[in-house]
Amino acid sequence: MKRQKDTQENTFTRREKEIKKHMEDEGKRLGGKHYVLVHGACHGAWCWFKVKPLLEKAGHRVTALDMAASGIHPATIHQLHTVRDYCRPLIDFMGSLPDDQKVILVGHSLGGLNVAVIIEMFPYKIEAAVFLAAFLPDTQHHPAFVFDQFAARLPEDFWLDTEFKSTGDPNQSLTTMLFGPKFMSLLYHLNPLEDFELGMMLKRPSSFFLHDLRKADTFSKEKHESVRRVYVVCEEDKAITKDFQLWMAENGGVKEVKELQGSDHMPMLSMPQKLSDCLIEIARKC
């Protein structure tokens, strides 16, 4: 039995080394891309902890950022008033890059809004914009339109135990949200229990900033169409359904759509290898 176990372990180790070498060779062939990973609402850069080393092992550079009042960022949600306030860490980071340096920008869930903001500001610094089960504003309506469409299609009890609060001046009220355990279970329904518990420990209040989005200008069609945009659909997502993801991709004029079969809303945790492979596949066309 011991010899059989040792043989199995050696076979597994060899296979692991072969996969690692293949990924490293692929990274070198691609010249080593720079991925910038943006989390969704109530989460932080921490949620990419499985994907980041996989992309790095493949020879790529990876930057995972906390948006303002997220993860370990020092601000609180009550100090933010606009989408740009929330997006400030990403804006500052992109602004610090040389004009000739391009990144593959990946936004998950609410992070799609951050990606849209960056396309508007730095289209020439983006090699590809990836929307991962993400909100995708279009260029025909005000930026809140896609969120309004999302809300209009939700069942009454969708938000479960999510806690909503309104703060600030009544004329410029900010509605914040904090996911409860039942709603988090909806997001993480195909994840290991340990990842769900990690999310429960690290979640922080967030916002859709709808009061700001309703006053904002429509995003530029010229700028957004100048960037290669890819939508990655999470097939088993119970939060942003597959149908709505496909609708957003079509409504937003995204011509390249990929699908992660068997994925819930949190593929960076439930299937990090498949997601990494998908992101590397996207890089091959850059």
For residue 185, count CB atoms less than 10 angstroms from its CB and return exposed for 0-12, middle for 13-18, buried for 19 or more. middle
Active site residue 85: no
Active site residue 81: no
Catalytically annotated residue among 237, 263, 264, 270: 237
Catalytically annotated residue among 39, 60, 211, 265: 265
Q: Helix, strand, or coil here: 229?
A: strand
Helix axes 111-121, 83-96, angle to 10 degrees: 50
Helix axes 272-284, 2-30, angle to 10 degrees: 30
Tokens, residue 25: 């060779």
Q: What is the largest CA-CA distance in the chain?
A: 73
Helices (H), 33-159: 51-57, 83-96, 111-121, 145-152
For residue 192, count CB atoms less than 10 angstroms from its CB and return exposed for 0-12, middle for 13-18, buried for 19 or more. exposed
Catalytically annotated residue among 109, 207, 263, 276: 109
CA distances from 243 to 73, 133, 139, 249 (A): 34, 11, 20, 10
Amino acid identity, residue 267?
A: P
Nearby residues of 29 by Cβ (< 8 Å), 6 or more positions away: none
Active site residue 161: no
How many other CB atoms are there within 10 angstroms of residue 204's CB atom? 19
SS3 content of the chain, % helix, strand, coil (to 5): 45, 15, 35
Active-site residue list: 109, 237, 265
